[in-house]
């Protein structure tokens, strides 16, 4: 999907997937674009030569590269990469709402929102683009793969920025629920304020000194057996892993969390212990129609009883 301020890709969505965008390093020198591609993706060298020869690799203006095209250092190349087979994720999103501007779904645990890393076709976005026949569909906000609940997607690329701005300006009321291990002496309700940083390539986000950039309001919904509790979370901000970091910091980690407070190895296809975190509801004033939008998940947290 296109980032705000970036020129749209010159190739259309195909089979639910965006083309791959390659930024060609300016400081490198290659005799031809093909030489660079073969070195970048040695396992796909033959297939890449076929694509270039067929005019399927283009620049940012949609002009096809050829087998003799010189290496355009600092330029861009767009192409479709062949997708490796993926094990099916045995959970489905439920469509809660659909109109000309939005598609709102109830996302299950274990299903990634957008293609990334090991998950490309087994994602909310790719599945919905295919099943609904909507290649312009894009998420308006993030929801972690382990988290279930309400996810808002926009139907038209030109309208996506208006909805993203709502989240950026904190004009969206979000309510989450979580089952946590409740430590003795923790008084609720409470508000957690901290500075959270997530480094690229590092699984965990961390709290660091500095001005607050993450705020979460935590309240008790009801106690549960075994020292657990169902809590409600109202985040004012949307930092990566914010709710998981804040609850772990309170000594009340979310049941089923594989990252916090300590990372633990679990097989990718082990669905036996889902993160007990649910995006229960979301509400905002629609930037295009002005109407109040409110969507609520129909899912339940298994550990909540």
Q: 3-state SS string over the chain?
A: CCCCCCCCCCCCCECCECCEEEECCCCCCCCCHHHHHHHHCHHHHHHHHHHHHCCCCECCCCCECCCCCCCCCCCEEEECCCCCCCCCCCCCCEEEEECCCEEEEEECCCCECCCECCECCCEHHHHHHHHHCCCCCEECCCCCCCCEEEEEEECCHHHHHHHHHHHHCCCCEEEEEEEEECCCCCCCCEEEEEEEECCCCCCCCEEECCCCCEEEEEEEEEEEHHHEEEEEEEECCCCCCHHHHHHHHCCCCECCCCCCCCCCCCCCCCCCCCCCEEEEEEEEECCCCCCEEEEECCCCCHHHC
pLDDT band at 268 (very low <50, low <70, confident <90, very high): confident
Strands 148-154 and 277-285: parallel
CATH of domain 94-304: 3.30.2350.10
pLDDT, averaged across the chain: 95
Residues 135-166: pLDDT tens digits?
999 999 999 999 999 999 999 999 999 999 99
Tell me what percent of the residues of the chain surpass a pLDDT of 90.
93
Q: What is the mean pLDDT of residues 91-112?
A: 98
Q: Where are the domains of the chain?
A: 20-79, 94-304
Q: Is 44 a catalytic residue?
A: no
Active-site pick, 144, 212, 273, 286: 144
Q: What is the mean pLDDT of residues 276-303?
A: 97
Residues 197-233: pLDDT tens digits?
999 989 999 999 999 999 999 999 999 999 999 999 9
pLDDT surpassing 60 at residue 255: yes
pLDDT surpassing 60 at residue 298: yes
pLDDT surpassing 50 at residue 2: no
pLDDT surpassing 70 at residue 295: yes
- pLDDT for res 1: 41
pLDDT band at 7 (very low <50, low <70, confident <90, very high): confident
pLDDT surpassing 60 at residue 120: yes
The model's pTM: 0.91
pLDDT band at 5 (very low <50, low <70, confident <90, very high): low
Q: Which fold has domain 20-79?
A: 3.10.290
Residues 186-205: pLDDT tens digits?
999 999 999 999 999 899 99
């Amino acid at each position: 999907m296109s980032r705000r301020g970036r020129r749209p890709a010159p190739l259309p969505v195909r089979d639910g997937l965006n083309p791959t965008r390659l930024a060609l390093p300016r400081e490198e020198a290659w005799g031809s674009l093909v030489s660079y591609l073969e070195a970048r993706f040695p396992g796909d060298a033959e297939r890449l030569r076929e694509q270039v020869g067929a005019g399927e690799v283009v620049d940012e203006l949609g002009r096809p590269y050829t087998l003799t095209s010189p290496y355009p250092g600092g330029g861009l190349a767009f192409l479709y990469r062949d997708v490796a087979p993926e094990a099916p994720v045995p959970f489905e999103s439920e469509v809660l709402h659909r109109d000309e501007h939005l598609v709102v779904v109830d996302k299950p645990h274990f299903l990634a929102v957008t293609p990334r890393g090991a998950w490309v076709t087994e994602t909310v976005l790719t599945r919905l683009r295919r099943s609904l026949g909507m290649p312009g569909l894009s998420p308006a906000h993030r929801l972690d793969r382990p988290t279930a609940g309400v996810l808002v997607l926009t139907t038209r690329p030109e309208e996506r920025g208006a909805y993203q701005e709502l989240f950026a300006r904190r004009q969206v009321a979000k309510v989450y629920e979580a089952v946590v291990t409740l430590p003795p002496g923790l008084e609720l309700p409470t508000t957690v304020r901290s500075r959270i940083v997530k480094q690229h390539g590092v699984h965990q986000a961390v709290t660091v000194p500095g001005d607050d950039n993450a705020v979460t309001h935590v309240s008790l919904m009801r106690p549960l057996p075994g020292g657990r509790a169902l809590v409600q979370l109202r985040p004012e901000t949307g930092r990566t892993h914010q709710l998981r970091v804040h609850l772990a910091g309170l000594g009340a980690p979310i049941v089923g969390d594989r990252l916090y407070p300590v990372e633990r190895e679990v097989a990718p296809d082990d669905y036996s212990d889902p993160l007990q975190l649910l995006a229960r509801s979301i509400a905002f004033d629609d930037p295009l129609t002005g109407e109040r939008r409110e969507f609520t998940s129909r899912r339940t947290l298994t550990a909540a009883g």
